[in-house]
Structure 1
Amino acid sequence: MDLSQEEFELIQSLLESQLTPFGFESSPLLIKWYNEQVDKKFKFKSIHEDSLAFCVTSTSEMFERGFLPFVFESGICRDLRNALDESIGFYLKKMCQDLQNYQPIFYRDSDLEPGTRRPAFLAQTAAHVSGVAYYYHPSEIIQSAKREGIPLPWSEEDQQGRVYGVSIHHKYGGWFAIRGLIILQNVKYKSLQQTPPPDVVESIQLKVKLLNDFNFSNWKNWNYRDIIPVHPKMKYSQLQRKYFETEPKLRYDSLHDELKQSWLNLKEM
């Protein structure tokens, strides 16, 4: 079906009402925007190019408002070592239930293409083409640095396959995560206008620093996330940082009391 602007705004409003209370946000895109940017093996070949999709991201609030209630309140968490992925799937499925008329399907950022080790979709590309976060691609930055004579803080050997790109949000910096993609299979919205994400890391020197901090600095220091100024309230809480810094198989057992107390405190507010 071809959407009118009014119908599109209704879908956006419905998603927002489902997402915001749990610390999620979404940004619309057309499948063709994504397909134009990825290799053949990653394209959505069986979905019409004008199909409407939404890239779903989480803010710093998702941990306390979405994840902790899922673990301690929902009663459906089956694998505490995989609780975060389970919670993302739970909320994406919940969103899709209210969009059944549009034949929705969803992918988590952790999902793999069946029978392969390839991701089901390239999350950073989806975020970039939807305008939600700028993807800083290493090859582009390395080429620009070499043209301008800016030294790279890593070796040529490291440069071959070890330097990965990273996405930065114009408001949250690196204090956010790309969580999933919802595709409305029978919805076309050709009039959707693409809005490029803001390039907020302005100089090549800072972009090189961003890649270096993301790839080679100890990720537990969180430096790359602060490549642009971010309000303290938009950053991950100390408990959330501690959770992600802990080895996945140890997270729940070692942090159970702190996690539950945080959830109880939130319930009392």
Structure 2
Amino acid sequence: MEQTKTILNPLIEKVRAILEPFGFKVYPFKVGRYNELIEEKYRLSVPDDTLGVLVLSIPDMWENAFIPFVKQQDWDNWNEEKNPLHECMIHHLDQVKQSFPEHDVEVMHQFEMPNGQAKILVQTAAHVAGAVYYYQRRDVTEQPWRVDEEMYGVSFHPVYGRWISLDGVFIFKDVLCPDLPQRAPKDVLPDRNERVELLEKIRNFRVPRKNADEHEEYLFSDLHRKIDIARRIKSS
């Protein structure tokens, strides 16, 4: 296996060069740090020092990646069981995998659910990579909720707030990064009351850009409507 000093920086910069023009951001992390925080059934079966790369998208992805992808598709022959946005993610992340034929790269998408179980817990991976702060119930002191009340965690980006999508992870199985420093996520909500409000309401904060209305409409539509929106984009 190759060592961090010789290949890590050029490798990460190459991934960035491929994805960032399309509205994606990438963050490296050591798999062992991810495995430490999750249940055994979700752990990745690679050495702790193996390189992982978290991929997230910002609102620019809609115009820079999705709309061009949609306009290139043959909608008369589209498979109605396929989610257009998922297919767009597969297309762009596969471009990275194909650009590293010399490496053993596994792509894990956030929407993959083999046997009904998430292949990768992207919120934990994003927190470990320092990309977002993953606020959870345990981050709130003097909790106002009942013990048996279920509260979902929220990933919050220091620039874009919740207006991101955690799209997936690359695992470079033949690359070890023992010297990769751990990047702590920025805690933009140190106040206890703000954390409570975020977890209860997924509060809107000022960000440089939010998702386009059409993007939001897509995200909250069923598959049939998603395909209709993609066809509308193609014809516009």
Same fold (TM over 0.5): yes
8 A Cα contact 2:106 2:171, kept in partner: yes
Higher fraction of helix? 1
Larger RCO (CA within 8 A; separation ≥ 6): 2
Which residue matches 2:10?
A: 10
> Does the Cα contact within 8 Å between 1:133 and 1:168 map onto a contact in 2?
yes
Q: Alpha carbons of 1:88 and 1:161: their partners in 2 closer, same or farther (altered >3 Å)?
A: farther
Describe the SS at the equivalent of 2:83.
Answer: helix
Structure 2 counterpart of 1:230: 207
Q: 1:174 aligns with which of 162, 178, 186?
A: 162
1:107-118 maps to which residues of 2 (within 5 A)? 107-112=108-113, 114=114, 116-118=115-117
Equivalent of 1:241 in 216, 222, 229: 216
Following superposition, the deviation at residue 9 of structure 1 comes to 1.2
Aligned to 2:27: 27
1:85 match: 86
C-alpha contact (below 8 Å) 2:80/2:227 kept by paired residues: no
State the 1:55 CA deviation: 0.4
Aligned equivalent of 1:252: 227
1:203 and 2:198 correspond:
no
1:218 equivalent in structure 2: none
Q: Distance in 1 between matches of 2:230 and 2:24?
A: 24
* Offset from partner CA, 1:30-51 (integer Å, 9 cap, x none): 1101001111111112x11111
CA RMSD of aligned residues (A): 2.0
Does the Cα contact within 8 Å between 2:110 and 2:166 map onto a contact in 1? yes
Q: Which residue of 1 aligns with 2:41?
A: 41
Q: Name the SS of the counterpart of 1:102 in structure 2.
A: coil
In the superposition, the TM-score normalised over structure 1's length comes to 0.81
Deviates more, 1:77-86 or 1:95-104: 77-86
Contact 2:4 2:179 in 1 (8 A): no
SS in structure 2 at match of 1:145: coil
Alpha-carbon distance in 1 for matches of 2:17, 2:88: 18
After superposing on structure 2, the runs of 4+ consecutive aligned residues of structure 1 that deviate more than 6 Å are none
Does 1:73 find its partner at 2:72?
A: yes
Are the equivalent residues in 1 in contact too, given 2:4–2:180 (CA < 8 A)?
A: no
Q: Shift of the alpha carbon at 1:206?
A: 0.7
Within 2, Cα distance between the matches of 1:94 and 1:254? 25
Q: What is the rounded CA distance, in whole Å, between the counterparts of 1:17 and 1:261 in structure 2? A: 30
Q: Is the 8 A contact 2:103 2:174 kept in 1?
A: yes
Letter in 1 for 2:64: R
Shift of 1:80: 7.0
The answer on whether the counterparts of 1:53 and 1:183 sit within 8 Å (CA) in structure 2 is yes
How many percent identity over aligned positions? Answer: 27
Contact between 1:80 and 1:252, CA under 8 Å: does it hold in 2?
A: no
- Following superposition, the deviation at residue 4 of structure 1 comes to 3.9
2:100 pairs with 1:99: yes
Shift in Å, 1:75? 4.9
- Report SS of the residue matched to 1:28: strand
CA positional deviation for 1:244: 1.9
Q: How many residues align?
A: 234
